[in-house]
Amino acid sequence: MAQLIDGKAVAARVRADVKAEVERLKAQRGLTPGLAVVRVGEDPASKIYVNGKKKAAQELGFNSWEHHRDASISQDELLALVRQLNADPAVHGILVQLPLPRHIDAELIISTVNPEKDVDGFHPLNAGRLSLGRPGLRPCTPLGVMRLLEEAKCELSGRRAVVVGRSNIVGKPQALMLLQADATVTICHRKSDLPREVGQADILVVAAGVPELIRGEWIKPGAVVIDVGQNRKADGKLVGDVEFQSASQRASAITPVPGGVGPMTIAMLMRNTLTAATGGV
């Protein structure tokens, strides 16, 4: 049976470290990190995510603001809001919650965020910095995965890592981070031979958004499995992209869903906001 990689426990340690650093910043420099979240419309999931981010920011001693706008807001009005936050010295981190309404060009909005305040790590400049191996703010979920692998004492150098999913938010940046850690990396997608590729993975990261896509029988014995997926089934059960029960019989370590990668995303967002406030990228 695989060792469970407890994302809740690791996230709690990250948040405790951030809170201690925030208290030190306030005492020594009179500096309070500030996080501004922009939410457009009434998407229920976005509202839940934003409330979680606001709560975490407040618990860690940040200043936090939610700028909620109606779904009818024009693109120019939203751009003006982003530029206003860019210019505000009290705001160190800006997060534009996705998805945005269809009439708004999300890429344009994200590209308008000051890259030094881009705590999601989505700005093209930060994506380029990651690709070139230069310092910059990194996407929160892949950053959280790297922390989980570290906590699991998973040796990456020279090992074969397989990433299932090629999104700009998780898959591509995840592959680059693993590559920088000297893993040999393969990115899989819908045209890939998944049983063959997964069967060769020493480290498997799955972020496909397809419930239980990866069968346990495909897992290489002793592999470390990180399941980024969070999918709600018809019966209300939350499952990942990996068949957990059968995979846990073959893997040496595996993240549960829920309680694995999920808590790490907000924890690393808080870490990114602190980094942005201190100019520590």
Does residue 53 carry a catalytic annotation? yes
Distance CA 164, CA 175 (A): 10
Q: Let me know how many helices (H) and strands (E) the chain has, helices first.
A: 10, 11
Distance CA 154, CA 225 (A): 11
Task: Select which of 6, 54, 84, 97 is catalytic.
Answer: 97
Distance CA 174, CA 157 (A): 15
Q: How many CB atoms lie within 10 A of CB 10?
A: 21
Give the list of residues 6+ apart from residue 17 with CB closer than 8 angstroms, or none. none
Task: Select which of 53, 117, 172, 220 is catalytic.
Answer: 53
Sign of the Cα torsion 253, 181, 172, 92 reads positive
Structure tokens at 206: 């799955």
CB 37 within 8 A of CB 97: yes
Task: Select which of 117, 118, 120, 227 is catalytic.
Answer: 120
Does residue 43 carry a catalytic annotation? no
Describe the chain by its helix, strand, coil percentages, rounded to 5.
45, 15, 40
CB 77 within 8 A of CB 49: no
Which of the 8 DSSP states describes residue 94?
E
Strands (E) in the chain, as ranges, are: 3-4, 34-40, 63-69, 93-96, 160-164, 184-188, 203-206, 224-227, 231-232, 238-239, 253-254
Does residue 3 carry a catalytic annotation? no
With both helix axes pointing from N to C terminus, report the angle between 140-151 and 262-278 in degrees, rounded to the nearest 10: 110
| Catalytic positions | 53, 97, 120
